[in-house]
Copies of this chain bind each other. A is one copy, B any other.
Amino acid sequence: MARNSRSVFSVDVSGLEPSREQSVSARIRDRLRTAIRSGALVGNARLPSSRTLARDFGVARNTVDDALGQLVSEGYIVRRRGSGSFVSPRLPEHDAPPLVPEREAEGAGAAVTRPRLSHRALSLRTHPGHSSPARSIPFTPSLPPLRHFPRDVWRRLLGREAARPGSDYWGYGASNGLPALREAIAAHASAMRAVRCTPEQVVVVTSTQQAVELAGKALADPGDRAWMELPGYPPVRHCLRAVGVDVVDVPVDDEGLEVDAGRRLAPDARLAYVTPAHQYPLGCEMSLARRKALLAWAREAGAYVLEDDYDGDYRYEGRPIASLQGMDDAGRVVYVGSFNKLLFPGLRLAYAIVPEALVGAFIDVKHVADGHTALLTQGVLAAFIQEGHLARHLRRARATYDERRRAFLEEAAVLDPWLEFGPARAGMHVTARFREHLAGRVDDKAVSEACAREGIEVHPLSRYGATGRGGLVFGFAGATRAATRTGLQAVRRVLEGRAQRGIA
């Protein structure tokens, strides 16, 4: 193979002059990822040093280091101390079907030509487990217990609203949402989360994901950077990447996102995504100092904070943490809330509350994305909120989840020899890390898979990009005490067996 077109380790190193609209580092990352996914680079293969790679690609070493760092955080590459970088033995998309790598189309004679997907679409395949929707078993995180939702009330309102004469629910709707729903949301968020807004600042969307995507489009151009929590919620990372935004991982400690690290890693980012009320997956809340530091950075950098308050309505201990949005005097926070977890996931209604100056842009990007959100459901939700059903449902759900949380924490004592639980003062999940003595002896993905075989869903902490000892994420809201006890015993058996055998 000719020098300058393919290096010894079967990655195309040609044509990296930045003529197309992607940085050199991103292109190196994409090529390495494609090579790994296509099998050109096999698991456990040792990569050349970054110095060698830099020479092969004809670029600076830190450009290569950037690309490798991204692939480490995506799980394609592992670093072994003192011995270099290796292709991960277990690819992040292990549960995805085998991929046909990008190729030139074949001649016109071929009956069906090969697919040619975009790099961004290929990179999304790293998202695990979305082919089958979440089932209701212990301990699925983020799945609300559906039997507690007052379906009879919802059905009654649905019938009533559908029978309303006129065409409010049938013709085209406003891209920012039904006025009645925007008013109800503004009132709810002000009362419950100390958000300061008018109904004009509310933009109704289908999901948190859509709100993130709209923010990505309105506030960043392709190639612009965004801070993302690490560990953090992978769909948000993928969502931003899908609209061309470069995601920069910023570490999280027990005070939340490390703003100083973000300033060092990407001072010019256009956007920072955070879960300040209840970090996902670690469960901590962002300290006041960090909140202030984050807002100060946004103000100075002319950047925006995307506050995902995904379960801010569920708090069981201590005083409620007010929203970041309520602290912001400079119009730098986009607040995102969702009804899909509060009510039921099949609903698909969420919202962004945006600074006044951004309202027009959010309406524009929502308009071109899908016109507007379905109308009848918006009317039903507006009635559900205005007539007090949401507040009632939240009160009941909060009491139920709190009871389940307490039961979980009591029963979870059986896992004490292996797991160290993090904060569980809010939300619907709690995260535990493996104890020191298991370090290097237990792989959280393998534990998660073994639990799945027992009918238990626990997410491996490494799925969220966490490094270190690994751990497990438990949703506690969906299981009764009896199911919780049985489920935790099953997890215990798995851990016990693995720890004894010392199987990774």
Contact = CB atoms under 8 A, between A and B. Distances in A.
A367 B242 CA distance: 11
27 contacts: A21-B21, A21-B244, A112-B329, A112-B357, A114-B302, A115-B331, A116-B303, A118-B218, A118-B220, A121-B219, A121-B364, A125-B364, A131-B363, A134-B172, A151-B170, A155-B159, A155-B162, A158-B159, A172-B345, A172-B346, A206-B373, A210-B369, A242-B369, A345-B371, A346-B374, A346-B376, A348-B370
Contacts of A127: 364, 367-368
Contact of A371 (B97, B207, B367, B377): B207
A360 interface: yes
Contact of A347 (B332, B355, B374): B374
Interface string A202-240: 000111011001000111111110000000000100110
Interface of A: 18-23, 26, 96-97, 100, 103-105, 108, 110-122, 124-125, 127, 130-134, 136, 143, 146, 149, 151, 154-155, 158-159, 162-163, 167, 169-175, 205-207, 209-210, 213, 217-224, 235, 238-239, 242-244, 246, 270, 296, 299-303, 329-332, 340, 344-348, 355, 357-358, 360-361, 363-365, 367-377
Contact of A210 (B224, B303, B370): B370
Nearest to A346: B375
Given A143-B172, A158-B158, A222-B244, 7 more contacts: A21-B221, A21-B223, A103-B302, A117-B218, A209-B370, A210-B370, A346-B376
A368 B224 CA distance: 19
Given A146-B167, A171-B346, A221-B119, A330 B113 contact: yes
Nearest to A162: B155
Nearest to A102: B302
B365 A105 contact: no
B118 A143 contact: no
Contacts of A302: 103-105, 113-114, 116
Given A20-B223, A118-B270, A374-B377, A175 B130 contact: yes
A237 to B, nearest CB: 9
B209 A368 contact: yes
A108, A130, A347, A373 — most chain B CB neighbours (10 Å): A130
A146 B171 contact: yes
A223 B30 CA distance: 15
Contacts of A224: 118
A347 B372 CA distance: 10
